[in-house]
A = this chain, B = another copy of it.
């Protein structure tokens, strides 16, 4: 207890709240805050190219290449936040199925990564029609393949 107070005091004295993470594992509430941040960033770069793939806005190859490059990196970030310790944290769209069937959740992640890998490969290939197909697939099969079973429906 005394040690905890000392640690808390030091963290407060430093005026850097996140430093307190250093004293222990990252708190479940912080993980639950970080997870949707990663998803929002993936959405930012996915949903600005999906309309291009669907012909609803002009196709811009430079934007697609940039966004897919960002998505390649962003896609690695959210998963370490879905720990069992977060199962009881409120204020999340993550469904209990994530913790009840972790193998199925992992398979959905892997499926997303596989669809994204196809998109990355298509982007490097440079064929616009193939890229457009891969963008739509990455969204409908990749993103939604996970959201359908593991994320609460949008209100």
Contact = CB atoms under 8 A, between A and B. Distances in A.
Nearest to A81: B44
Interface string A6-37: 00000000001111011100100000011011
B34 A44 contact: yes
A34 B23 contact: no
A34 B26 contact: no
Interface string A40-69: 110110011011001011000000000001
Contacts of A73: 69-70, 73-74
Given A70-B77, A73-B70, A73-B73, A19 B40 contact: no
Nearest to A46: B18
A145 interface: no
27 contacts: A18-B43, A19-B47, A19-B51, A19-B56, A21-B47, A21-B51, A22-B50, A22-B56, A22-B57, A23-B56, A26-B48, A33-B40, A34-B40, A34-B41, A34-B44, A36-B37, A37-B38, A37-B40, A37-B41, A37-B44, A41-B41, A41-B74, A41-B77, A44-B77, A69-B73, A73-B73, A73-B74
Interface of A: 16-19, 21-23, 26, 33-34, 36-38, 40-41, 43-44, 47-48, 50-51, 54, 56-57, 69-70, 73-74, 76-77, 154
